[in-house]
Structure 1
Amino acid sequence: MRAIWKDTVLATSDDTVVVENNHYFPADSLRKEFFRETSNHTVCPWKGTASYYDVVVDGETNPNAAWYYPEPSSAARQIAHRVAFWKGIRIEP
């Protein structure tokens, strides 16, 4: 699977985990140069507290477009050390 924004591949992996229709990519599959941590956090009742990355390509920022759970709940342990995407980022085989 590949995560793509603005014709740029952000992550590639044959090992994604699908939860609630979102592909969670291994953190080490991300091309780190396109990611910038943010101070944004949200809470999911069953997964825990999510942290976010801005995605930056060619000087354009897609704010809070990637998220991860630094300490997922035991019910969501399969997404530990993984990142998911939204806000126009395409997920393709």
Structure 2
Amino acid sequence: MPKAEWNGEVIAESSDIQEVEGNIYFPPNSVKSEFLQQSSHSTTCPWKGVASYYNIVVNGKTNESAAWYYPKPLEKAKHIENYVAFWKGVKITQ
């Protein structure tokens, strides 16, 4: 089952993932929210829309803006609405 791990903890785990542009997106109910803090960072994708970010906080360490999601995606990306993807050293295994 695909999972996302950082700093010795599993942050997300689900078999109901979506893969978009080489990134694995986890459904919101599979992500352990206790490890996430809202970030002020955002980016814009021309076909997905505005992405919001989370900082990942595990065992006293913070990985700034290391997770992102689309709270109000454009039509072509509706299937990943609120799904969470990771980068910046977060290990994704399948």
Q: Which residue of 2 aligns with 1:2?
A: 3
Q: How does 1:7-86 map to 2 (within 5 A)?
A: 7-86=8-87
Identity of matched residues, %: 51
Q: Secondary structure at the residue paired with 2:34?
A: helix
Using the alignment, how far apart are the partners of 1:32 and 1:75 within structure 2? 26
TM-score between the two structures when normalised by the length of structure 2? 0.96
Using the alignment, how far apart are the partners of 1:34 and 1:4 within structure 2? 11
User: Shift of residue 69 of structure 1?
Assistant: 0.4
Q: Which runs of 5+ in 1 are unaligned?
A: none
Using the alignment, how far apart are the partners of 1:5 and 1:34 within structure 2? 10
Q: Which runs of 5+ in 2 are unaligned?
A: none
User: Shift of residue 91 of structure 1?
Assistant: 0.6
The alignment's C-alpha RMSD in Å is: 0.6
Using the alignment, how far apart are the partners of 1:65 and 1:81 within structure 2? 15
Deviations 1:44-78 (Å, cap 9, x if unpaired)?
Answer: 01100000000001110000000000000001111
Q: Secondary structure at the residue paired with 2:39?
A: strand
TM-score between the two structures when normalised by the length of structure 1? 0.97
Using the alignment, how far apart are the partners of 2:89 and 2:64 within structure 1? 11
Spell out structure 1 runs of 4+ moving beyond 6 A: none
